[in-house]
Amino acid sequence: MSLPKALLLDRDGVINFDSPDYILTPEQWEAIPGSLEAIAKLHDAGIPVAICSNQSGLGRGMMNEELFRAIHAKMLLAIEEAGGMLTHAAYCPHAPEEKCSCRKPLPGLILEALDALHVKAGDALMIGDSTRDIEAAHAAGVKSILVQTGYGNAEMILQKSLVINPEIKAYNDLASAVDVLLEGNR
């Protein structure tokens, strides 16, 4: 796979540990080992990184904007302390029943990030931990990679993702995916 001009990441389950009960406070946000360093490697390679993340806890009233911003600020600080940088963050704050156009598996968040980064779909790569991420990338015309650090059944997620993209690659985590991506382009 050629080096992308931009990398799009899901947040929960890719950068930080996820929970079936949602990440609702800054104290619950915990980086997956190696994820922050992987973002720093992408930054060092000149590849802009954006987040594309459903955050239905907002729409469901499980957290307020202030808590959401505090979680985001903690993540940004951790990324910067590791030597990385986040270029854009696209979040869907809606509950599933709101039927918005930005909630993955629809491509709205990915299209927003592509526009913000001034990158064509064919020049970007999405890394996610769920079939929703892979479906959204596919709908936007963006290549995708699966990481197996989410809270669901990793093998079942991989099998469903292979139906969407028969050539999808799956890696243990963001760090290993980024290492393979960068190593293959040296």
Cite the active site residues: 10, 12
In terms of C-beta density within 10 A (0-12 exposed, 13-18 middle, 19 or more buried), how is residue 162 classed?
A: middle
Residue in this structure with the two tokens 């809270």, named with its chain if needed? 151
With contact defined as beta carbons under 8 Å apart, do 133 and 59 qualify?
no
| Encoded tokens for 66 | 């202030």
Which whole-number Å values give the CA distances from 5 to 25, 50, 95, 142, 158, in the listed order? Answer: 32, 11, 31, 12, 25
